[in-house]
Amino acid sequence: MRNNSKDSFITEETTMLGGLSFQELFVMFFISLVIPVVLLLIFREVVCWYWKINHIVRTLDSINSHLEKLSAAQTLNREK
């Protein structure tokens, strides 16, 4: 026969969760999310550095701004 008291429910839940409290489970869940995200960001930065992707993006942005200036200058020359 089951005891329906509150203490019995808490003990039953704790047993089902491997004896861990909700706070411990929350911390474990949070850590299991944070560590992979941090590793992903670090790995992404290393890959971008190795393949010079950041430099390529800056160069392409510079080319784009120069082309926009050139296009604007040509538009002004056509209007004259």
DSSP 29-65: HHHHHHHHHHHHHHHHHHHHHHTTHHHHHHHHHHHHH
Helix 53-79 and helix 22-50, axial crossing angle in degrees, nearest 10: 60
CA-to-CA distance for 16 and 29, rounded, in angstroms? 17
- The domain in which residue 20 lies consists of 6-79
**Tens digit of each residue's pLDDT (9 = 90 or more) over 11-51:** 555 556 677 888 888 899 999 999 999 999 999 999 999 99
1 is a domain residue: no
Structural domains in the chain (count): 1
73 is a domain residue: yes
Q: What is the pLDDT of residue 15?
A: 56
CA-to-CA distance for 14 and 18, rounded, in angstroms? 6
